[in-house]
Structure 1
Amino acid sequence: MREYSVAASSFNYQQAADEALAGNLEALNACVECCDRHAQDGRIALNCEDRDGNSTHYSFADLQARAARFANVLKAQGVGPGDRVAGLLPRTAELLVTILGTWRLGAVYQPLFTAFGPKAIEHRLESSGAKVVITDRNNRSKLDDVEGCPRIISVLAQADSGDLDFHTELNAAASECEPVLLSADAPFLLMFTSGTTGPAKPLEVPLRAIVAFQGYMRDAIDLRPEDAFWNLADPGWAYGLYYAVTGPLSLGHATTFFDGPFSVESTYKVIKKYGITNLAGSPTAYRMLIAAGEDFSAPIKGCLRVVSSAGEPLNPEVIRWFAEQLNVPIHDHYGQTELGMVLCNHHGLAHKVHMGAAGFAVPGHRIVVLDEQQRELPAGQPGILAVDREQSPLCWFAGYHGLPTKAFVGKYYLSGDTVELNDDGSISFVGRSDDVITTSGYRVGPFDVESALIEHPSVVEAAVIGKPDPERTELVKAFVVLGNGHSASPELAETLRQHVRQRLYAHAYPREIEFVSELPKTPSGKLQRFILRNQEIAKQQAALGQTASA
């Protein structure tokens, strides 16, 4: 295992690119990188598992042939280099063929999450100007209400729909299609931010980002040739598309798709059936595994070698559970749609893991903590996490597509997240800038309070906000989801308040606790505290209005 170095971001970018990519940086094609150059030795590229337990396996050669045919299907619809192709598909082989066929033409793939409704789809299709959208029978009806919807290709198209049928067109298409070579700065993905703090914004991902994706797979995920890999994230979102599709396939490694809703039972079954040794996912999924108990976890103990977590901070209780119940290390990783993963506790690099920290800068990136005047802060002072773009050769984000980018200030990209540098060089996540609570002169990170709450056996999930208060500026309020067998009561609320007070410090405990059945999240599973905060403000304003009327 290579030793981690704080100076790792100074490594030679050109050398890394030459090692990672076939050809040179002026003649790239994502389908070649993620498929063609691994298609000679019969290696498996995709393991598909459906909800009924049926398995299908595809080699890189299988996908290469299908991608060439589908590229010709798209070409017949007028798609060329730089054009957008949208995919509204579940995790099936057709999804991967769509992605690879789009890339083969030098076109840009745009993911549409299958849980989106018509309005979310319409916004993204209108913003991208997609020429074609590919879907299946289960999701087709969502496009009926999309104004200006482009040409539709559907898996199992209805005869009277006017859509092209995916497999009919695929089988009729010519079998040869030369890949279109582009420069490293040409886009191959059009992503939208997850909308954690506002409307989703579009951004283009250039081909050179593949180098960064590979580095994350090697250094943070520690993906080894002998691993059986599964990333639970949906390719409708950045973490799934970057690291369940592009990252592993570009390294010539098989990936796993499960076509079905997340459940504890199905997750454990897939891990056991495929002998998964390297698992990636979100804290939300992991907390659900923990809540299910040892009856589910016991059969897979010893299967997993490493587990990675991304999407939101990893609570210490989850880290302890994986170590004690499954005997496997789980590491926290931080990133954004705009950046990919840039701050990690690396499985593949030797360094001490600072409990509760998001980790160290991923090689190829210089990550710093800034104050409001963009001055770099020393350890122990909270500030904004930023990327020094002048000294981050693997940072590929160039701004939002068609929109101004306020996050660029001088040489820095400002993430909007509040963090704190530790003495050992690691960085701890505090919260979104808007999420940090100021109460009685103290600054409280909601993540710390949430972590303390879920350590209590009655709590499955928690969200903490600052509620406006005339005396304290804000008071700490918690929204709590209880586990099975636990009932909401004033007594339990007081027990949780005291639990947090003892685990943290007196000013950080939640003075108000509201028990709820679920928490607001983005479709990708990220907690949306701002919705809870806005609801509280609306309640207060309504109460003031009623008082004034009286």
Structure 2
Amino acid sequence: MRDYFTAAREFDYARAVSGTLAGRLDALNACVECCDRHAGSDRVALVWEGRNGERANWTFDQLKEASARFANLLASRGIGAGDCVSGMLPRTPELLITILGTWRAGAIYQPLFTAFGPKAIEHRVQGAGSKLVVTDLANRPKLDEVTDAPPALTLGADFWAELDRQPAEFAPVMRRGDDPFLLMFTSGTTGLAKPLEVPLKAMVAFVSYMRDAVDLRPEDRFWNLADPGWAYGLYYAVTGPLAMGHATTFFEGGFTVESTCRVIREYGITNLAGSPTAYRLLLAARDEVEAALKGQLRAVSSAGEPLTPEVIRWFSEGLGCTIHDHYGQTELGMVLCNHHALEHPVRLGAAGFAMPGHRVVVLDEQHRELSAGQPGILALDRARSPLFWFPGYRGMETRAFVGDYYLSGDTVELNEDGSISFVGRADDVITTSGYRVGPFDVESALIEHPAVIEAAVIGKPDPERTELVKAFVVLHAGHAPDETLAETLQQYVRKRLSAHAYPREIEFVAELPKTPSGKIQRFLLRNQEIAKAQAAAAH
């Protein structure tokens, strides 16, 4: 295992580019990098299981031919370099063909999550200027409600008929490293989702993450649970592993504990990536999961929200494997990690160290760099981060750029050992009686209690304390959501944290509001409490 501090100190961008890409920064094609360069040896690129139990392995050779047919189809419709193609498909081989074929033509792929409704689709395809939407029969009717919808190519209707008519060869269109190959839309707590172009050179950073943080090895069987309709899935279930010549896994069925255990066991998965939500659900069925998976997994990676200490301990003690926290954003990819393949101290609850090639700092409100022990805003030093690739939001001002810094909007704290601990989104941090409380600490303490499955903590407006700490709690079956349990949980947290950080109010709920990718939407709970307070004041 390489030493992290040596790797970070000796990072060389030119060497990283030449060691990662087959092409050059002035002549790149993502389909070549993620498919063609690995063809010719019958190497498997995709292990797929459909929602009805169908199974197939696709080789890089097969995907090379199918992507050429798709690129020819695009060309026949006048779609080429710099144009945008949107995909709204479940995790099927056709999704991967669409992505690779779009890239082969020099065009830009724009993902549409299959749970999106017509308005979310309309905003994205119009913002992208999409020339084609590739979808399936289940999602095709949504386009009928989209104003000025692009033409559609539909799996189950005309997709394969159209491809079969096309030639099986198409010369990849070369582009420059700064040219986009993905168009993502990212949203915060307010406003419409903002478009951002991911340049081809970002593939260097994506592969660096797969190698150093995920520790993807040739002998691994890899599965990323994230849907390619979202950044973590598209960057690290598609682009990253395929660029390394490694097979990825698509399971079309929905997430359940039983199906997850079965897929890991039957396909011999040794390296797993996913979200804390998935891991908390596995923990909730710990006896079943331990019986099925103990000793099966070698390395597990988590992204989206911080892991709780209980999940980390359970993976080590109950499943016999290491799970590590990783931090990133759609705009950045992953930049702060506990690295599986690099040796460094691992502090329980810390997001980790900056990926080699990035300089991550903590800033105060005047954008001055803070020393250890002081909470502030996580930022990227763009001038000293050669792997930083975010060019700004397309067609609009990027307020997150301040001088040489990119401001993430997340509140963190630098530790003495150089690692960084996550406190919360800037909007999530609670100010109560003059104290600043990070919701993650309170949530972690609550989840330690055996009655609790999940928790979300917010600041509720309060005239005396500015805000008071309120927790929304989901319970395991068999526990009564009554005042006695609420008081027990309050004292449980108070003993573990402090007198000012425990939740003064606890509301038991059946579920927490989440994004489709599994992130808890605390702002919805906070807005709900603000609306209640305003209604009460009006009366």
The 1-side partners of 2:202 and 2:43 are apart by 24
Quote the residue 1:243 is aligned against.
236
Aligned pair partner of 1:271 in 264, 272, 280: 264
Give the C-alpha shift of residue 197 in structure 1: 4.9
Q: Distance in 2 between matches of 1:23 and 1:481?
A: 50
Q: 1:545 to 1:196 in 2, by over 3 A?
A: closer
Q: Distance in 1 between matches of 2:80 and 2:346?
A: 47
1:474 match: 467
SS at structure 1 position matched to 2:305: coil
Structure 2 match to 1:162: none
Cα displacement (A) at 1:10: 5.7
Relative to structure 1, the CA distance from residue 76 to residue 195 in structure 2 (aligned partners, 3 Å threshold; closer, same or farther) is: farther
Structure 2: state its 5+ residue gaps: none
Equivalence for 1:60: 60
| Aligned residue identity for 2:45 | A
Decide whether aligned partners of structure 1 residues 340 and 496 sit closer, same or farther in structure 2, where only a CA change above 3 A counts: same
| Residue of 383, 403, 409 corresponding to 1:416 | 409
Matched position secondary structure for 1:359: strand
Where 1:330 maps in the other structure, the secondary structure is strand
The AA in structure 1 aligned to 2:22 is A
In structure 1, give the amino acid aligned to 2:111: P
Aligned to 2:164: 171
CA contact (8 A) 2:21 2:33 kept: yes
Tell me the equivalent position of 2:98.
98
Distance 1:93 1:7 in 2: 36
Task: Read off the aligned partner of 1:63 and give its amino acid letter.
Answer: L
Structure 2 residue corresponding to 1:221, chosen from 201, 206, 214: 214
Alignment of 1:90-489 (within 5 A): 90-157=90-157, 165-489=158-482
Aligned to 1:160: none
Distance in structure 1 (CA, Å) of the matches to 2:6 and 2:507: 43
Offset from partner CA, 1:252-309 (integer Å, 9 cap, x none):
0000000011111110010001100000000000001111231233121111001000
2:538 matches 1:545: yes
Quick one: distance in 2 between partners of 1:53 and 1:77? 34
* Residue 9 of structure 1: how far off its partner (Å): 5.9
Unaligned runs of 5+ in 1: 158-164
User: Whole-Å Cα distance in 2 between the matches of residues 133 and 195 of structure 1?
Assistant: 25
**Cα 1:274/1:294, change in 2 over 3 Å:** same
Is the contact made by 1:367 and 1:386 (CA closer than 8 Å) also made in structure 2? yes
Q: Deviation of residue 6 (structure 1)?
A: 7.2
Residue matched to 1:47: 47
| Kept in 2: contact 1:9–1:366 (CA 8 A) | no
Are the aligned partners of 1:81 and 1:107 in contact in 2 as well (CA < 8 Å)? yes
Task: Give the letter aligned to residue 139 of structure 1.
Answer: N
The one-letter code matched in structure 1 to 2:32 is V
* Alpha-carbon distance, 1:521 to partner: 1.4
CA contact (8 A) 1:195 1:522 kept: no
For residues 23 and 111 of structure 2, what CA distance do their matches in structure 1 show? 27
Q: TM-score by structure 1 length? A: 0.97
Aligned AA for 1:30? Answer: A
| Deviation at residue 195 of structure 1 after TM alignment | 3.6
The amino acid of 2:161's aligned partner reads T
The worse-fitting range, judged by mean Cα deviation, of 286-295 and 351-360 is 286-295
Aligned to 1:531: 524
- Give the C-alpha shift of residue 54 in structure 1: 2.8
1-structure distance, mates of 2:48, 2:188: 30
1:196, 1:526 within 8 Å by CA — same for their partners in 2? no
Rounded to whole Å, the distance in 2 between the matches of 1:341 and 1:426 is 15
Number of matched residues? 539
Deviation of 1:199 (Å): 2.7
For residue 500 of structure 2, give the secondary structure of its aligned residue in structure 1. helix
CA RMSD in angstroms comes to: 1.0
Q: Which residue of 1 aligns with 2:36?
A: 36
Give, in angstroms, the shift of residue 15 of structure 1. Answer: 1.2
3-state SS in 1 of match to 2:99: helix
Shift of 1:406: 0.2
TM-score (ref. length: structure 2): 0.99
Identity of aligned residues (%): 71
How far apart, CA to CA, are the structure 2 residues paired with 1:177 and 1:427? 47
Q: Is the 8 A contact 2:231 2:330 kept in 1?
A: yes
Q: 2 CA distance for matches of 1:232 and 1:297?
A: 19
Contact persistence 1:194–1:524 (CA under 8 A) = no
Cα deviation digits, residues 109-129 of structure 1 (max 9, x gap)? 000001111111111111111
1-structure distance, mates of 2:14, 2:144: 47
